Structure 1
C-alpha cells in the first residue's frame, strides 16, 4: 500500500536513497506543502505525466519514447524540440498500439 509510511520508505530504500536524508524530508511538514505547490503549478500548465517539457513560450509537451541509439540522440532531441516548442498547433501525435512502436527496439 503506497499510502503507508513503511511502503514509501521501502521504495526509497530500494532506490538507494539516503534513508536519513529521505526520512528527514518525509518528516518535515513543509515538504508536503512544497509538493502540493509543485503539483498545483504542474496542473496549471497541463502536466499529466513525466517527462513533460515546459518551454519559454508557454507551451508544454509530454514525451513517451524509448531511448534512441547514441548516434541518433541529438537529432531525435532536436526533432522533438522543433515540433514541441515551435509548433503550437500540434496537439497530439500518437502511434497506434500494440505493439508500440513497431520496430522501435531491436
Structure 2
C-alpha cells in the first residue's frame, strides 16, 4: 500500500493534515479504519478560510520543487483527510515518488 497513485499524467496524493501545529513538516504515515494509508503533514496555519490547505500546497510545492499552481486540492477541503492532484506529476514520477516514499519512511 502507498499514499500515492497515478491518474493519467497526474499523481494523486493522500494526506492527513494537522493544521495549527507548532511545527511545519511532512513525514510519516497514518492508517485509517479502512486500512488505507495517508501521508502525514503539519502546518502552522489555522484551519480557517482555506489557510491550512494553502499552506499545505505551498509546503508540498517547495519540498517537491513543483509549481504551486500545479498542485490542486481534489477533496477534503474542510477535513483532515485530503486528496491532492499533482498535475503533470506522472511525467516526473520517479523523482516525485522517491521523495514521497522517503517521507513515508519517517516516523
TM-score (norm 1): 0.26
Greater strand share, structure number: 2
Q: Which structure would you say has the larger RCO, counting Cα contacts within 8 Å and 6 or more residues apart? A: 2
Determine which structure has the larger helix proportion and give its number. 1
**Structure number with bigger Rg:** 1
